[in-house]
């Protein structure tokens, strides 16, 4: 709920901080990198691929990791994090940064007029609390305002995560002919989209039935592939997911109703699977009164979601047993959920049965691969971007340690430091 509390005061504070205190980054003159480096000293580290590292000095120059040395061996300005455990910054592959509760405490609706300036400020606040919790990269799908947030955070003075965005989604409202779908993909590419979000099924609140034919998915994902864009497909049931796999799309989102045969098909097609099995549902239930009466948020729809919770959990447990299926971390964080992202991972481990280390890997190196950024982020290794977080405790031993973030660095910039 933090994302909607005392909005003016919080955002005014972070703006003042950004304006008065330029972000801290490791800088080194030519030939003197080791002296001017930042050294992050920790008791242990997780590399994001399932490996463990002992007491370490993680050396950062500019925005890159230039060394991982035994503790006490690094030269430069030391940030001693004591007994903390370092790991790559977490990656949430499915959020909605702009989705917020409005000034009346409700999900946005036509009844409460809101300016574009208000909307983008809410998005910036959501980005801030997300980053502060240890999520250093998000994939926001999809609002046109995400582009401005992405670019503002990338400039480095406004604190927030790295953002990839689909801008606007693609769906059945475009029509029944293939060419308009191809054209829409080209328009989104020209507008600066990093990926394409596709609605191939209806909402779980109305049954999750397929909404796009094989021909239309072939056209959309085919055009995106030609342009070098990844495709995220909202698909709850087996048929919509099967069509997406045959269309060579990249990732299935949600997939709450998938059966084993479809999960195996995703693995065969080297697709990524992003199940959202806890936070999105729980957040809806906790805030039901803030949603009811807007759009298709009805009492019946909430009952459909409640019925879907055990089904989604069973699907996730089945997915864990499918060889080669690449499960990534995504929350579908919307109004009320920003800054609570790690709760999804905790649920996956404590209720879903995933190992803590596998859950962390799903949110680091595997998530980075799903973004096409596996050679840049998601792993603690020399040459990678310096996206580093540290927790008070080892989350591979107790996943709840992800809720005790004490340090956040994004692209070499120190964004949180509680030590």
User: How far is it, in rounded angstroms, from Cα 126 to Cα 100?
Assistant: 8
Specify whether the backbone of 199 is left (phi greater than 0), alpha (psi in -120 to 50) or beta: beta
Answer whether the bond into residue 46 is a cis peptide, omega within 30°: no
* Mean pLDDT, the chain, whole residue set: 92
User: How far is it, in rounded angstroms, from Cα 11 to Cα 318?
Assistant: 42
Q: At what angle do helices 342-350 and 279-286 cross, to 10 degrees?
A: 110
User: How far is it, in rounded angstroms, from Cα 268 to Cα 128?
Assistant: 38
Residue 5 clears pLDDT 60, i.e. is over it: no
pLDDT in tens, 112-121: 999 988 989 9
Q: Is the dihedral of CA 377, 378, 383, 388 positive or negative?
A: positive
pLDDT in tens, 164-185: 999 999 999 999 999 999 999 9
Residue 12 clears pLDDT 70, i.e. is over it: no
Structural contact between residues 212 and 196, judged by C-beta atoms closer than 8 angstroms: no
Nearest 5°: phi and psi at 74? -75, 145
User: How far is it, in rounded angstroms, from Cα 234 to Cα 222?
Assistant: 17
Sheet holding 162-165, edge to edge: 90-95, 135-140, 162-165
pLDDT mean over 92-105: 96
pLDDT at 130 (0 to 100): 98
Return the number of other C-beta atoms located less than 10 Å from residue 112's C-beta: 12
Closest alpha carbon to 37 in 9, 12, 58, 8: 58
> Which residue segments constitute the domains of the chain, with CATH numbers given?
2-88+379-417 (2.30.40.10), 90-370 (3.20.20.140)
**Rounded to 5 degrees, what angle do the CA atoms 312, 172, 186 make?**
110
Distance of CA 249 to the CA centre of its chain: 19
Residue with tokens 């997300």: 130
Residue 369 clears pLDDT 60, i.e. is over it: yes
| Residues above pLDDT 70, as percent of the chain | 92
pLDDT at 409 (0 to 100): 98
pLDDT at 274 (0 to 100): 98
Distance of CA 162 to the CA centre of its chain: 10
- Entry pTM: 0.93
Residue 303 clears pLDDT 80, i.e. is over it: yes
């Amino acid at each position: 709920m933090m994302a909607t509390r005392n909005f003016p005061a919080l955002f005014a504070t972070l703006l003042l901080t950004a304006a008065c205190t330029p972000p801290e980054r490791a800088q080194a003159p030519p030939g003197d990198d080791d002296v001017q480096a930042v050294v992050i000293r920790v008791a242990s580290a997780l590399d994001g691929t399932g490996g463990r590292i002992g007491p370490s000095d993680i050396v950062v120059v500019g925005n890159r990791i230039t060394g991982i040395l035994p503790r006490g061996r690094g030269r430069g300005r030391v940030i001693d994090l004591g007994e903390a455990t370092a790991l790559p910054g977490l990656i949430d592959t499915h959020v909605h940064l702009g989705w917020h509760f409005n000034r009346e405490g409700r999900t946005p609706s036509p009844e409460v007029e809101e300016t574009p300036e208000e909307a983008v400020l809410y998005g910036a606040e959501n980005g801030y609390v997300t980053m502060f919790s240890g999520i250093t990269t998000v994939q926001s799908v999809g609002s046109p305002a995400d582009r401005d947030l992405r670019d503002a955070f990338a400039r480095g003075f406004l604190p927030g995560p790295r953002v990839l965005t689909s801008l606007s989604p693609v769906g059945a409202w475009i029509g029944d002919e293939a060419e308009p779908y191809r054209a829409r993909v080209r328009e989104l590419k020209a507008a600066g989209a990093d990926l394409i979000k596709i609605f191939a099924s209806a909402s779980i609140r109305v049954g999750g039935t397929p909404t796009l034919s094989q021909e239309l998915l072939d056209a959309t994902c085919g055009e995106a592939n030609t342009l070098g864009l990844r495709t995220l497909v909202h698909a709850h049931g087996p048929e919509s997911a099967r069509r997406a796999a045959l269309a060579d799309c990249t990732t299935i989102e949600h997939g709450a109703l998938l059966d084993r045969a479809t999960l195996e098909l995703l693995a065969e097609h080297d697709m990524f699977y992003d199940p959202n099995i806890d936070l999105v549902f729980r957040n809806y239930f906790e805030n039901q009164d803030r949603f009811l009466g807007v759009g298709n948020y009805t009492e019946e729809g909430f009952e459909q979601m409640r019925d879907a919770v055990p089904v989604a959990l069973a699907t996730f447990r089945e997915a864990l047993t499918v060889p080669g299926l690449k499960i990534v971390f995504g929350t579908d964080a919307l109004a009320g959920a920003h800054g609570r992202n790690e709760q999804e991972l905790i649920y996956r481990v404590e209720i879903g049965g995933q190992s803590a280390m596998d859950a962390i890997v799903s949110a680091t190196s595997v998530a980075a691969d799903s973004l096409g950024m596996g050679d840049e982020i998601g792993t603690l290794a020399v040459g990678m971007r310096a996206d580093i977080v540290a927790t008070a405790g080892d989350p591979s031993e107790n996943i709840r340690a992800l809720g005790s973030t004490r340090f956040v660095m994004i692209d070499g910039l120190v964004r949180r430091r509680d030590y």
